Chains A and B, each alone.
Chain A
Amino acid sequence: MKSTLAGIGGLFFLPPVDMKQEVKIVEAKGKEKKLVYRTLGKTGLKLPVINMGVMLTDNPNLIRTALDSGILLLDTAHGYMQGRNEETIGGVIKGRPRDSYYIATKVNLPQNRTTGLYTDGATTEEFLKRLDISLKRLGVDYVDILYQHGVSKKESVMYEPVLKALDQAKKDGKIRFAGVSTHGNEPEVIHAATDSKAHDVILTAYNFKQKHYPEVRNAIARASQAGIGIIGMKAIRGAYQQPPTIKNITGSLKWILQDPNVHTVITGFTTFEHIEIDLSIMDDLTLTEPEKLELQKEASIRGLYCQGCGQCLGQCPEKLPIPDLMRAYMYTYDYRSLAHAQDLVVSLNLPSRVCEDCSYCPVKCSIGFNVPKKIRDVARLKDVPSEYITV
């Protein structure tokens, strides 16, 4: 696998490989179910390939049904529902044997939203204090996985006060495994976590609609080879929303699980039917031809908007904030929201002439955008008087 990573990363469908997974037929809610298990890296936890992200529900019976259906890992966070999400889980697991489920939660600390770096209030003490509150809400002595929540920069992955807190929590027996969660600039975060050697698990956004999925895939492969457990999220991003943004749910889940380096996926159920649909993919994880066609069709819609890969950073001689400008372009033409676009453009304090004086643009976009053209287009918003804003 290692020698062919770069090539494989770019393939939309991966060739079949030995998945190193176990299949068990279990009885759940009076019915026989086929469950497929993979091992979460060096943690050794054997998990079904589908698990539950609890963030969308306060319905304890839905969580009970998920556990009774064979799901083992419940994923929550200190901040979800202002802590009520953890309390709901606490109510469900009360009385269940502690070795019959796994809990993953996440602790966030103050971050500068522009830089993605932790700020003053991000201390070891605060992290540990929040963990203690989470343990109390959950009614457990320890969680199986504790993530530093929502990280998008390598500096934040390596942030000493947080690493110290994770280490201390392990020593105190309050967590079994340390992790990091990311859904922005994922490849950088995953590589940093691999290099840090402080993380046992990575929870990452990963789906077929990400334009930079090859980079995510390659980063995951490297992390997995280093023994880090990989959990996917946002695999069916928006599929259960109204209107759905992904049409083929089973295909989307199978797509991420075709990657042998993904050990499990968490999905956010809100109905009993969702649980059945998502678990049903374990009957056969192979993508069917109709599923492949549908995914290809959805993925082939031309990439009109920036995917936030960050490759362009530092390439502009005028140091223009290209990803922000591309986001403004997306607000204008995809979201049809000029207010957001103008707010963003104005906030960037651009020079009076933008992309008009360079004879050559060295910026190389990973998906081939004509970056200066798009910038010139959207930068004009800063000069539109606000009285023209309303029609």
Chain B
Amino acid sequence: MSTVIILWSSISKAKDFKFPEIAGWKQSGEIETFIPKNLYEYINGAADLYLMYDFEELKVAEYQNEKKASVTVDVYRHRTPLHAFGIYSQERLPEANFLDIGIQGYYEKGFLNFLTGPYYLKLSAINTGPEDQEVLVAFAKRTAENLGPKGSFPSILSAFPAEGKQKHSEKFIARNFLGYAFLHSSFTADYELQAKKFKLFVIERENRDECKNMIEKYLQTIKSPRKDVTEGRYTLSDPHHGEIDLHWQGKYIWGILNLNEVSLRLKYLKLFEEGLKKKVLSD
């Protein structure tokens, strides 16, 4: 057993979490645990997307009451709160009924999803009748209490200009942003203004050199290499995405997709710059 004991180093975190006891409900069956290699056993092909967001572990508990109603609580733990936000943002339904649970949650008939710290929780109910929402909210709140500090949305989201931004449309793309491995990750938000739909994005890296490297690779990819790549604005003609305006400054690259009107593009680049300055000052 000595080998076994030695291997026991990384488990205390997972062991800390306990599903709550809820009056009138009993856990049916054992708690199930899934990890990256077998997540597909639980959510089939959807598992691949979770793996892109550095999924670490899922714990599943099912509760039943005397009326044979059941509630299933799925607790997904990701490597960081940012990655948990990323997968939550990929599945968030912008038109749902939003709730003040954890950092944010929402309810639709039969299910409730929310985000707290590095956890993404998905609760579903069967046969809960008209009390469906009430039951799910109670479970969500009690479970959240056992999951530590809820944290907050990534601070960089505050830099997105408010005008025209579609509510609950912010996302974190963990890898291969715009379909390019060299662009790594990005934050995006959807906009609608004057009947025009477009997307804003911002890439945040560790330092200026990483951003420079990205711009250079992007220019090479679209076959417009430049000798001297300096901070400032770039209008790129991307074979897949059309014309993209972006701006590089320091460790940030921000830009606009799917917007033809040049004056509006310039306006939003400027607004974004102001938002980032405020964000940097407040950090």
Query: Which residues on A are within 8 Å of B, measured CB to CB?
Result: 29, 53, 55-59, 61-62, 64-65, 77, 79-84, 106, 108, 110, 113-114, 120-121, 149-150, 181, 183-184, 233, 241-242, 268, 270-273, 327, 331-332, 335-340, 343-344, 346-347, 380-381, 384, 386, 388-391
The residue in chain B whose Cβ has the minimal distance to the Cβ of A330 is B37
Query: What chain B residues lie within 8 Å of A181 (beta carbons)?
Result: 44-45
**Would you call A338 and B43 a contact (CB within 8 A)?**
no
How far does the alpha carbon of A227 sit from the alpha carbon of B41 in the complex, in Å?
28
Most A CB within 10 A of own CB, among B7, B29, B51, B57:
B7
The minimal Cβ–Cβ distance linking A200 to chain B, given in whole angstroms, is 20
The verdict on A337 contacting B35 (CB below 8 Å), with A58-B90, A271-B179 known, is: yes
**Would you call B11 and A84 a contact (CB within 8 A)?**
no
**Would you call B175 and A80 a contact (CB within 8 A)?**
no
B9 at the interface (CB under 8 A from A): yes
Which one of B1, B29, B37, B176 lies within 8 Å of A335 (CB-CB)?
B37
**Would you call A390 and B44 a contact (CB within 8 A)?**
no
**Would you call B35 and A340 a contact (CB within 8 A)?**
yes
Query: What chain A residues lie within 8 Å of B7 (beta carbons)?
Result: 332, 336, 338
**Would you call A150 and B126 a contact (CB within 8 A)?**
no
How far does the alpha carbon of A346 sit from the alpha carbon of B210 in the complex, in Å?
48
How far does the alpha carbon of A389 sit from the alpha carbon of B5 in the complex, in Å?
7
Interface residue SS majority, chain B: helix
The minimal Cβ–Cβ distance linking B249 to chain A, given in whole angstroms, is 25
Which one of A55, A84, A106, A120 lies within 8 Å of B48 (CB-CB)?
A55
Chain B stretch 1-51: residues in CB contact (< 8 A) with chain A: 1, 4-12, 14-15, 29-33, 35, 37-38, 40-46, 48-49, 51
The minimal Cβ–Cβ distance linking A183 to chain B, given in whole angstroms, is 6
Can you list 17 A-B contacts (CB < 8 A)?
Answer: A53-B45, A55-B49, A56-B52, A61-B179, A106-B44, A108-B44, A113-B41, A149-B44, A150-B44, A271-B179, A332-B4, A339-B10, A339-B33, A343-B31, A380-B4, A389-B12, A391-B8
Query: What chain B residues lie within 8 Å of A53 (beta carbons)?
Result: 45
How far does the alpha carbon of A183 sit from the alpha carbon of B11 in the complex, in Å?
28
**Would you call B90 and A335 a contact (CB within 8 A)?**
no
B93 at the interface (CB under 8 A from A): yes
Most A CB within 10 A of own CB, among B8, B29, B91:
B8
Query: Which residues on B are within 8 Å of A, measured CB to CB?
Result: 1, 4-12, 14-15, 29-33, 35, 37-38, 40-46, 48-49, 51-52, 57, 60, 90-93, 113, 126, 171, 175-176, 178-181, 239-241
The minimal Cβ–Cβ distance linking A334 to chain B, given in whole angstroms, is 8
The verdict on A183 contacting B44 (CB below 8 Å), with A271-B179, A343-B31 known, is: yes
How far does the alpha carbon of A265 sit from the alpha carbon of B225 in the complex, in Å?
36
**Would you call B30 and A110 a contact (CB within 8 A)?**
no
Query: What chain B residues lie within 8 Å of A113 (beta carbons)?
Result: 32, 41-42, 60
Which one of A59, A120, A344, A381 lies within 8 Å of B126 (CB-CB)?
A120
**Would you call B90 and A81 a contact (CB within 8 A)?**
yes
Query: What chain B residues lie within 8 Å of A114 (beta carbons)?
Result: 29
The residue in chain B whose Cβ has the minimal distance to the Cβ of A341 is B4
**Would you call A84 and B4 a contact (CB within 8 A)?**
no
The minimal Cβ–Cβ distance linking A128 to chain B, given in whole angstroms, is 17
Most A CB within 10 A of own CB, among B32, B40, B44, B49:
B44
How far does the alpha carbon of A268 sit from the alpha carbon of B179 in the complex, in Å?
12
Which one of B33, B113, B178, B239 lies within 8 Å of A343 (CB-CB)?
B33
Query: What chain A residues lie within 8 Å of B60 (beta carbons)?
Result: 113
**Would you call B4 and A121 a contact (CB within 8 A)?**
no
How far does the alpha carbon of A150 sit from the alpha carbon of B8 in the complex, in Å?
33
**Would you call B240 and A82 a contact (CB within 8 A)?**
no
Most A CB within 10 A of own CB, among B41, B43, B113:
B41
Which one of B49, B52, B179 lies within 8 Å of A62 (CB-CB)?
B179
How far does the alpha carbon of A388 sit from the alpha carbon of B41 in the complex, in Å?
30
How far does the alpha carbon of A59 sit from the alpha carbon of B238 in the complex, in Å?
14
Query: What chain B residues lie within 8 Å of A347 (beta carbons)?
Result: 30-32
**Would you call A340 and B49 a contact (CB within 8 A)?**
no
Query: What chain B residues lie within 8 Å of A79 (beta carbons)?
Result: 43-44, 46
**Would you call A59 and B43 a contact (CB within 8 A)?**
no
The verdict on A56 contacting B49 (CB below 8 Å), with A338-B7, A391-B8 known, is: yes
**Would you call B15 and A82 a contact (CB within 8 A)?**
no
The residue in chain B whose Cβ has the minimal distance to the Cβ of A29 is B239
